A and B are shown apart, each in its own frame.
Chain A
Amino acid sequence: MEFSPVAVQAFQVGTIALCSPGVSGVIAKIEARFQGRRGPRILQPYYDLIKLFGKESLAPSGSSAAFLLAPIVAFACYLTVPLLIPVLTTYGLPLGTMGDILGGSLILALAAFAVAVAAADTGAPYAQMGSSRTTTFSAITEPVMLFVIFTVGFLTGTDLPYKLAATVTSSASQVVRPSHLLAAAALFLVILTETSRIPVESHSGTNEFGMIEQARSLEHSGPYAALLVWGSAMKQMILYTILLNVFVAPWGLAASGKPLLVAVAIVTLVAKCCAVGFFVTVIDNSFAKLRLFKITEFVAAAFLLAVLAVLTIYLGGG
């Protein structure tokens, strides 16, 4: 028996959607252990979502339809991205080639834009601050992503994530070339900022100055808040999946639609995501947060890696 490509594609989206709160739960648990706390249950994010879905939702007076539409748009975006990236398989699936890496980044940016618009729409100063700060930060990490994508272009001759994963697994010489390692490191630094780990944000606090990403969704409640929370968990897992299954460790992916292979791929992906989460938590808890305006230094480091990746491959053939 073999799953049809459409079914496997559905599994890709389903894996990200259903496993992402669990991955967040595991990371929260690891983080708590590092800080000497017992921490919440691993399944706590699921209970939180169930609770939020059962609550009533309110909108601030004066807010427009964009406020209520944004969580749904963002969630739909996060459901679309897994179609484009190798979540479970080494081969392209139906609709998998409708967008390249740029297409995937565009959809992620659209989700961020929708949430930022909704936050600005509330008129609440705090949500607006969060929205303007996240937008600014994503604008300054944009050049880094651009250079990472250039590197992918040089490595594979295309900008398809499946192709890079196949290139990386093809031989050891593709793994240890400096351009690949530098681009992966730059992407990792971008993911650290995008998942609000370092340099300035605190991931799970209620300290006002540390919450930037979370501040945007403060005015949302009930099912809308649930969609935003779930969406940000999915975004985290999507970014981890891109790092793992495209750049760093595209191993353990299913080569065909056999149920066993797909099941192994799902388990491997979740395990790999938890491993990255562990690594991220170690970094998050061993470095002091930077002052807000120091973020340019952090991004300059990521930019440096990404530009060096392009330099080594374009001028040095590495």
Chain B
Amino acid sequence: MQVVAPSTVNGVASTIAVLVLLVEFGMLRAGLLRSQVRLYAAQSLIASLLAVFLGVVRHEPELLILAGLSIALKTVVVPLVVLRLVRQSGTATTGSGILKPAGAALVALAVAGFGFFAVGRSGLRVDGLSPTVLGSAVAIIAVAFVLMIIRNDVVSQAVGFFSLENGVSVASLVVAAGMPLILEVAFLFDLLVAVVVFGVLMRVHHEEQSTLSTAQLTDLRG
């Protein structure tokens, strides 16, 4: 069985989407909080590059504005804020997950495979793009959930949540590229709200528990 090659534009878009997914897998492996945040910045940058690429190819200047905003917000502001919180907490390493990196990678791989499978079977098709792009977006969301589930520190969970938003934005880029700019920007500001909430959570949690780990939260009563 030979699978016919998609067009070059399609191939580039798929490759960028798969790169975003690969960075998500990198987050599963990252053992330092700051490298986790940096990976998130890199992932946001790559996702924004997808917006730039699609904007140029489809002649939609709105996407370029969106890409500029999301680079400013997601690769500069959010990582800086989170890195500052991490530095103030004085913790360098992530909480050890319930799985070792190799095991976590295999679990995430199975989950990502389900993402591709679900999109392939759902019959969702985007004009001019192969299901790989949408499949990657769903896989990113699924792997972000795995990251949040297996890690037991607040920063990993927050970064997992933010990167989940990257998956959603990749999906929205390909599915609804014609969506009004105001809606896309509203999504970005939703993220800002999440950053504030998680920032407060990290601070409060660290002040009360003197740790970023969520392991002790199970012992709380009342």
CB distance from A293 to the nearest CB of B (A): 10
Does any Cβ of B come within 8 Å of A61's Cβ? no
How many residues of A are in contact with the other chain, CB < 8 A?
34
Residue in contact with A312 in the complex, picked from B29, B101, B116, CB distance below 8 Å: B116
A residues 254-305 in Cβ contact with B at 8 Å: 296-297, 299-301, 303-305
Say yes or no: B1 contacts A317, CB within 8 Å.
no
Does any Cβ of B come within 8 Å of A59's Cβ? no
Known A-B contacts A301-B105, A317-B130; A173 and B5 likewise in contact (beta carbons under 8 Å):
yes
How many residues of B are in contact with the other chain, CB < 8 A?
37
Does any Cβ of A come within 8 Å of B95's Cβ? no
Say yes or no: A315 contacts B101, CB within 8 Å.
no
Q: State A108–B183 Cα separation when bound (angstroms).
A: 57
B residues 84-120 in Cβ contact with A at 8 Å: 100-102, 105-106, 109, 112-113, 116-117, 119-120
Q: State A314–B1 Cα separation when bound (angstroms).
A: 10
Known A-B contacts A300-B106, A307-B109; A176 and B3 likewise in contact (beta carbons under 8 Å):
no
**Contact residues in B for A176 (Cβ distance below 8 Å):** 8, 11-12, 15
Say yes or no: A178 contacts B18, CB within 8 Å.
yes
Say yes or no: A300 contacts B101, CB within 8 Å.
yes
Say yes or no: B8 contacts A312, CB within 8 Å.
no
Does any Cβ of A come within 8 Å of B169's Cβ? no
Does any Cβ of A come within 8 Å of B132's Cβ? yes
A residues 142-180 in Cβ contact with B at 8 Å: 153-157, 171-179
Say yes or no: A157 contacts B1, CB within 8 Å.
yes
Say yes or no: B18 contacts A312, CB within 8 Å.
yes
Say yes or no: B2 contacts A312, CB within 8 Å.
no
Does any Cβ of A come within 8 Å of B167's Cβ? no
Residue in contact with A153 in the complex, picked from B1, B112, B113, CB distance below 8 Å: B1
**Contact residues in B for A313 (Cβ distance below 8 Å):** 3
Q: State A249–B113 Cα separation when bound (angstroms).
A: 29
Q: Mark A31-58, 1 if CB is under 8 A from B, else 0.
A: 0000000000000000000000000000
Say yes or no: B8 contacts A318, CB within 8 Å.
no
Say yes or no: B25 contacts A318, CB within 8 Å.
no
Q: State A108–B3 Cα separation when bound (angstroms).
A: 29
Does any Cβ of B come within 8 Å of A316's Cβ? yes
Q: State A313–B5 Cα separation when bound (angstroms).
A: 9
CB distance from A188 to the nearest CB of B (A): 14
**Contact residues in B for A312 (Cβ distance below 8 Å):** 14, 18, 116, 132, 135-136
Does any Cβ of A come within 8 Å of B55's Cβ? no
Does any Cβ of A come within 8 Å of B178's Cβ? no
Does any Cβ of A come within 8 Å of B61's Cβ? no
Say yes or no: B18 contacts A182, CB within 8 Å.
yes
Say yes or no: B102 contacts A318, CB within 8 Å.
no
Known A-B contacts A301-B105, A316-B130; A308 and B1 likewise in contact (beta carbons under 8 Å):
no
Q: State A97–B63 Cα separation when bound (angstroms).
A: 50
CB distance from B20 to the nearest CB of A (A): 11
Say yes or no: B120 contacts A316, CB within 8 Å.
yes
Among A155, A174, A176, chain B packs the most CB atoms within 10 A around the CB of: A176
Say yes or no: B132 contacts A154, CB within 8 Å.
no
Say yes or no: A155 contacts B3, CB within 8 Å.
yes
**Contact residues in B for A182 (Cβ distance below 8 Å):** 18
**Contact residues in A for B120 (Cβ distance below 8 Å):** 315-316
Q: Mark A184-205, 1 if CB is under 8 A from B, else 0.
A: 0000000000000000000000
Say yes or no: A304 contacts B2, CB within 8 Å.
no
Say yes or no: B2 contacts A177, CB within 8 Å.
no
Does any Cβ of B come within 8 Å of A311's Cβ? yes
Residue in contact with B15 in the complex, picked from A171, A177, A296, A315, CB distance below 8 Å: A177
**Contact residues in B for A301 (Cβ distance below 8 Å):** 29, 105
Q: State A155–B6 Cα separation when bound (angstroms).
A: 11
Residue in contact with B116 in the complex, picked from A155, A175, A300, A311, CB distance below 8 Å: A311
List 10 A-B residue pairs with CB atoms under 8 Å apart, sorted by A's residue number. Answer: A154-B1, A157-B2, A173-B7, A304-B105, A311-B112, A312-B136, A316-B135, A317-B3, A318-B11, A318-B130
Chain A contacts to B: CB under 8 angstroms: 153-157, 171-179, 181-182, 296-297, 299-301, 303-305, 307-308, 311-318
Contacts A156-B2, A316-B120 known; list 16 others, CB within 8 Å: A154-B1, A155-B2, A173-B7, A173-B10, A174-B5, A176-B11, A176-B12, A178-B17, A297-B101, A300-B102, A307-B109, A312-B18, A316-B119, A317-B3, A317-B6, A317-B130
10 smallest beta-carbon distances between A and B, as pairs? A157-B2, A316-B132, A318-B132, A176-B11, A315-B120, A300-B102, A315-B116, A178-B18, A318-B14, A317-B130
Chain B contacts to A: CB under 8 angstroms: 1-8, 10-12, 14-15, 17-18, 21-22, 25, 29, 100-102, 105-106, 109, 112-113, 116-117, 119-120, 130-133, 135-136
